[in-house]
Copies of this chain bind each other. A is one copy, B any other.
Amino acid sequence: MNERQGKAVRMADVAKAVGVSTMTVSRAFRGDAGINVATRAAILTKAEELGYVFDATAASLRQNRSGFVAVTVPSINNANFAETVRQLSRGLSRDGLQILLANTEYDPDEEERLIGELLRRKPEAIVLTVGGYTQKTRQMLQATRIPVIEMWGLPAKPIQHVIGFSNPDSMSRMVDHLVGLGHRDIAFVGGDSARDPRGGERRQGFTAAMRRHGLDDGKLVTAGPAPVGMAEGAEALDRLLTDYPGVQAVIGVSDLVAFGLLSECQRRGIDVPGRLTIAGFGNYEIGRICVPRLTTLDVHAGRIGTMAASLIARILRDDAGNQPTWIEIPADLIVRESSG
């Protein structure tokens, strides 16, 4: 019956079936104004009947518009990165843009490889979690003609646009809070910072603030290679108490680590915050639910995504967005029961 046996239905097939040109079918599908209402209806009906599926690849090639925005995150398993991606995705979908997501797994070489692959798809913009690029990565990002947005931090040498918060400054504020409560003997639990630039910046913020207060900035516990989570936090408590027996307060590089520390305290009957004050970072849902609730810093993960989407929409609309945008979304200190 069909002369293109086994082949997918194209616009030309729909056009022939309806008795119009492919151009008219194209116009019907794009909702062009200048097209007869009846013709349009007939085309859409026939297309449905034939099982026609529009080929976005061909359209992309011809229009030089892929409709993609590339995004890289260190780990999609992290609830906060996931929330950023979710809001980014929501915001972009209003402009008909789809996300091309890549997980770097906290590995700069993997990130380089993934960004290379993403760029071959001709995305209209690329959104990155800031920090720790390889030389080749930086070179690719500087050479590309599309908008580049770094998020989740404030890079010293921004590539183009930036949306985020200062990791060290935010952490400094947490130290100020704990010192304000009267604590002097404060420790920091984080991962191997080489694999997690943001975590490393938080640790730097911790040591800088401790020094500023004239306190010992050396109470650091390394919970393992990034990403460190609940399990690593729980395991780290032992080392914390052994290495720094007089510790009064501890800050986790994230709420997940803080929750691990908290759980292990509970298990051992250590009163929080009576015997040990615990604070986290990131304002994850778990910190609002656990007992006691966690003092933390809200980095507004969702808002970062929302604002990145708006920024991209604006840049793609008017080409006026030629000069780099710098959007700082300050983290908010949230004081809860775990610090006292």
Instruction: Encode contact with B along A231-255: 1 for CB under 8 Å, 0 otherwise.
Output: 1001000000000000000000000
Which of A57, A145, A267 has most chain B Cβ within 10 Å? A57
Question: Are A120 and B289 within 8 A (Cβ)?
Answer: no
Complex: A264 Cα to B263 Cα, angstroms? 15
Complex: A99 Cα to B76 Cα, angstroms? 13
Residue of B nearest to A110 (CB): B93
Contacts A55-B122, A120-B54 known; A263 to B289 CB distance under 8 Å? Answer: yes
Residue of B nearest to A114 (CB): B93
Question: Are A260 and B289 within 8 A (Cβ)?
Answer: yes
Instruction: Encode contact with B along A29-53: 1 for CB under 8 Å, 0 otherwise.
Output: 0000000000000000000000101
Contacts A76-B82, A117-B98 known; A143 to B289 CB distance under 8 Å? Answer: no
Kindly state whether residue A230 has any CB partner on chain B within 8 Å: yes
Instruction: Encode contact with B along A288-318: 1 for CB under 8 Å, 0 otherwise.
Output: 1111000000000000000000000000000
List B contacts of A267 (CB < 8 A): 291
One of A12-20, A83-91, A192-200 contacting the partner: A83-91
Question: Are B82 and A8 within 8 A (Cβ)?
Answer: no
Kindly state whether residue A276 has any CB partner on chain B within 8 Å: no
Which of A51, A99, A100, A289 has most chain B Cβ within 10 Å? A289
Contacts A120-B53, A145-B8 known; A288 to B58 CB distance under 8 Å? Answer: no
Contact partner of A82 (CB less than 8 A), chosen from B82, B98, B266, is B82
Contact partner of A120 (CB less than 8 A), chosen from B56, B76, B101, B291, is B56
Q: How far is the CB of A112 from chain B (nearest CB, A)?
A: 14
Question: Are A263 and B234 within 8 A (Cβ)?
Answer: no
List B contacts of A288 (CB < 8 A): 230-231
Q: How far is the CB of A284 from chain B (nearest CB, A)?
A: 10
Kindly state whether residue A213 has any CB partner on chain B within 8 Å: no
Complex: A273 Cα to B212 Cα, angstroms? 47
Kindly state whether residue A259 has any CB partner on chain B within 8 Å: yes
Contact partner of A58 (CB less than 8 A), chosen from B61, B103, B266, is B61
Complex: A186 Cα to B89 Cα, angstroms? 40
Instruction: Encode contact with B along A252-274: 1 for CB under 8 Å, 0 otherwise.
Output: 00000001100100110000000
Kindly state whether residue A286 has any CB partner on chain B within 8 Å: yes
Residue of B nearest to A118 (CB): B98
The 9 closest A-B pairs by CB, nearest first: A56-B120, A230-B289, A266-B291, A77-B82, A54-B120, A51-B143, A57-B61, A263-B289, A57-B60
Contacts from A to B (Cβ < 8 Å): 8, 51, 53-58, 60-61, 66, 75-77, 79, 82-83, 85-86, 89, 98-103, 117, 119-122, 143-145, 229-231, 234, 259-260, 263, 266-267, 285-286, 288-291
